[in-house]
Amino acid sequence: MAIHRGSLDWFRQRMLDELEFNNHKNGWHHLSTKTLTDGIDKQWFPLLDAIKTNDTESIISRCANLANFAMMVADNAHRKQKSLTPAAPEKGE
């Protein structure tokens, strides 16, 4: 499968645009996985509706929001994983 960097760059920008639009919500690090996955649920059915009506702008926006919620879940899991991983010993120890 070929990687289409132009598509990735465009979609990453859409994700950033959605995050900036919601910047007043003060981030996601304090949110539980349950709260974040509820956000995924809330975006899913409106996305399906947008697909049925071929509302391309809504499809794009909902997909970017879904991707952002998935990124938030993964980011919180990554931060937790890092905090549970023992630090590597310093050189010379």
SS3 content of the chain, % helix, strand, coil (to 5): 75, 0, 25
- Residues contacting 39, CB < 8 A, separation 6+: 65, 69, 72
| pLDDT exceeds 90 at position 67 | yes
Closest CA to 39 of 61, 12, 68: 68
pLDDT for residue 92 is more than 80 = no
- pLDDT tens for residues 32-51? 999 999 999 999 999 999 99
Look at the pTM and tell me if it is higher than 0.75. Answer: yes
55: exposed, middle or buried (Cβ count in 10 Å: 0-12, 13-18, 19+)? middle
